Chains A and B, each alone.
Chain A
Amino acid sequence: MADPTPSLSVRKLGKSYAAPVLAGVDLDFRAGEVLALVGENGAGKSTLAKIVTGLVPASSGSMQLDGTAYHPATRAEAERAGVRIVLQELSLIPTLTIAENLFLERLPHRWGAIRWSRLHEMARQAMARVGLDDVSPDALVAELGVGRQQMIEIARNLIDPCRVLVFDEPTAMLTVREVDRLFAQVRRLQAEGVAIVFVSHRLEELAAIADRVAVLRAGRLVASGPMADYPPDELVRLMAGRDVAPARTPGPTRAGTPMLRVKHLGRDRVVHDVSFEVGRGEILGIAGLVGAGRTELLRLIFGADRADAGEIELGEPLRARDVTSPKDAVAAGLALVTEDRKGEGLLLADSIAANVSLGNLARVSHRGFGLRTIDRPAEIALAEKHVTALGIRCSGADQPAGELSGGNQQKVVLARWLERDADVYLLDEPSRGVDPAARADIHRLVDDLARRGKAVVVVSSDLRELMELCDRIAVMSAGRLVETFARDTWTSDVILAAAFRRDSEGKGAA
């Protein structure tokens, strides 16, 4: 087959901040082709995507769009040329309606008054293009789930004709069903001759949608070719530049005496009557669709939200504990690593040391003049211990946490809780947005926790992760715990079926 003419080609593209983040990259984006752009965090794939779409200027190299020189200075300029990006962070305005968001910069109006019927018509067409026909264009964006918001973000980029469309981690927040819907749209765009770029960590999904793959490592292109030639293991090896051992070999269930028992826990509409038990040395996975109440369940157990009903028993032997605040939870031996590590976990502007010691300051301080005084050298030493033990890649314990990659940020949060030495660890999406090598490190850490006799609960949208890591998997749907599978009884099919089951039944009943 002859090579189709590239829509967009980049040559010797480079970008340097303090240090080079992208160097001498040659790559073609071809019309009607889906290109997967993969690499560890910090490998330069986001930078490449941002240069191509005008968000940041290149330091060196050249780009050509349909054979003519192309150097967008701004995102608007790139968009006029038909090169667009769907960013991971949503840029919608939650207090406006879907229709207003879609056409914000060009609301149809007559003498300044918005022509609502015209706007609705336009919005309905734009929404239909991404298969969003079950919500009204009048709905407020704030009322939609994250998945739907993402679809609207995509719809907004498809309003105008498009030559090249870049997706930055498009599926991170989507449910299985939404991913299917997105892929259907991608195939349609592909058929229309759009060049599509997928930046993602989800290798199995990329295998399903991409024609070609390009692997970046440390700012350089290390491999590119047909997707079919690169099995996931090979891609992971290429990205890391080394062999990455699987986190753990499946073994027999290791559950010891129970360490956490949840009885009939509930909170108005989000969690209903959930009961389960986790044993010493056991990893319990919680699967389910986005919005099934998994995050809410963890927050209830931890006292971050107030439960309306139910009890919690903790420790060895189990003892009823009244956990009404995170303070109570921590005192009772619980740890929670939240899914939103930037918003709820880290002090981004502060050093790794300050982040690790937050919550552990009692260990690195002594009494003085009525207030506890921090022992700075001890604090730095504590952070350095964890930086070494967890392989956190940084310039030193005084580097601000905000400068680290997602995987290293997650390790900093984990270090904080490892130091705390809790009995029960609640981990919400521990490897979201984390590159494969760091993900394997985190899995090893979780496994290690279990080996040291902790009880671990892991919430994840990544079924493969749960099936690798867990001893049992409980499935939540519409706020209820619908079924629990043991290692020898689960398959991804039965878990998915359970995740969807109560969802549709619930709708039928309501």
Chain B
Amino acid sequence: MIGFFGVCSHHFLSAATFTTIANQIPDLLVMSVGMTFVLLIGGIDLSVGSILAFAGSVIGVAALRWGWSPWAAAAAGLLASGAAGALTGLVCVLWRAPSFIVSLGMLEIARGLAYRLTDSRTAYIGDTFDWMGNPWALGIAPAFVVAVAIAALGQWILSRTVFGRHATAIGTNEEAVRLVGVDSRPYKVAIFAASGALAGLAALFQISRLEAADPNAGVGMELQVIAAAVIGGTSLMGGRASIVNTVLGALVIAVLEAGLAQVGASEPTKRIITGAVIVGAVVLDRYRVRRV
């Protein structure tokens, strides 16, 4: 794919393109890591885009209106987004409600809160967090490094730890896990909380780039995030996931985005092609699974 865009656009294989992708990808990447775990346990989190906006609003309002230090504001944003995710998880667990519906509710709630907090206006925060997005070289900024570190940590947790093993087993056969004496509920709440907090982290990355908290940020982002995980072979039925593949999935989405923009594709065309790629990836994955 990279080759294709390289041929079609003289500018694609340039440092500038790489910088663009390296700049955009941290948000998508960290949220996809969270989503991969959510999908792994057989859940889904539709609220991450809204939670991103909510977290950004908290950071913006805390820094501007309440006069908190930037670090305290950032911590408040992460905490708020983590709490929103944990709330989704808690409701799912306590009332055995499907996460599709609960997170759909959270999608509206978090977006509403974002508008409330900011009075529907973009909050200009200034350059406090610019250093996060300012590249050291080749577009590699601290945000990019943090995102890669989180992906690596996610892969380690998934494949090497008891937590990851139990999460996988919950997605495969929750009743079997319960009957060996492992309570699945804390795992679910923790994973939804992590998914929310990672959306908060993505908000921080965006603020560092845009110097502003926009209550309209992240609209439809949940679909990109789910697409990244699914292109990476994560099963929507739970029990099968790999962070490494999710990272590749996020790359596919980001490269498509940047590449299609460079070859001059219009916004509608971009969406059509991106949609086709998602479906194609899933169809390919079916063949891969059948062979195994």
Contacts and interface: CB of A to CB of B under 8 A. Distances in A.
Contacts of A357: 165
Interface stretch (B24-32, B125-133, B172-180, B197-205): B172-180
A345 B180 CA distance: 8
Interface string B173-190: 101111111110000000
A347 interface: yes
A294 interface: no
B286 to A, nearest CB: 15
Contacts of B182: 327, 358-359
Given A371-B157, A374-B161, A325 B179 contact: no
22 contacts: A302-B179, A326-B179, A327-B182, A329-B181, A330-B181, A338-B179, A344-B176, A344-B179, A345-B176, A345-B179, A347-B176, A347-B239, A357-B165, A358-B165, A358-B177, A361-B165, A361-B166, A371-B157, A371-B161, A371-B162, A372-B162, A373-B160
Identify which of B169, B177, B178, B180 gathers the most chain A CB atoms within 10 Å of its CB.
Answer: B180
Interface of A is mostly: mixed
A336 B239 CA distance: 23
Given A343-B175, A374-B165, A359 B180 contact: yes
A365 interface: yes
A496 B168 CA distance: 44
Given A361-B162, A374-B162, A350 B176 contact: no
Interface in A347-370: 347-350, 354, 357-359, 361-362, 365
A351 B178 CA distance: 19
Nearest to B177: A358
Nearest to A332: B181
Interface residues of B, number: 22
A347 B169 contact: yes
Interface of B is mostly: helix
B176 A358 contact: yes
B141 to A, nearest CB: 25
A289 B179 CA distance: 24
B240 interface: yes
A75 B18 CA distance: 56
Contacts of A361: 162, 165-166
A327 B183 contact: yes
Nearest to A413: B176
A382 to B, nearest CB: 14
- Range class of the A interface residue count: 20 to 34
B163 interface: yes
Given A345-B179, A358-B165, 17 more contacts: A330-B181, A343-B173, A347-B176, A348-B172, A348-B173, A354-B165, A358-B176, A358-B177, A359-B180, A361-B162, A361-B165, A365-B161, A371-B157, A371-B161, A373-B160, A373-B161, A374-B165
A27 interface: no
A336 B169 contact: no
Interface of B: 157, 160-163, 165-166, 168-169, 172-173, 175-183, 239-240
B172 A350 contact: yes
A331 interface: yes
Nearest to B174: A344
A416 B176 CA distance: 12
Interface string A433-458: 00000000000000000000000000
B260 to A, nearest CB: 36
Nearest to B172: A347
B176 A346 contact: yes
B166 to A, nearest CB: 8
Contacts of B163: 371-372
B181 A331 contact: yes
Contacts of B157: 371
Nearest to A343: B175
A329 B166 CA distance: 19
A365 B172 contact: no
B4 to A, nearest CB: 35
A304 interface: yes
B165 A330 contact: no
Interface string A295-337: 0000000101000000000000000000001110111000010
Nearest to B175: A344
Nearest to B160: A373
Contact of B169 (A350, A365, A373): A350
Contacts of A350: 168-169, 172
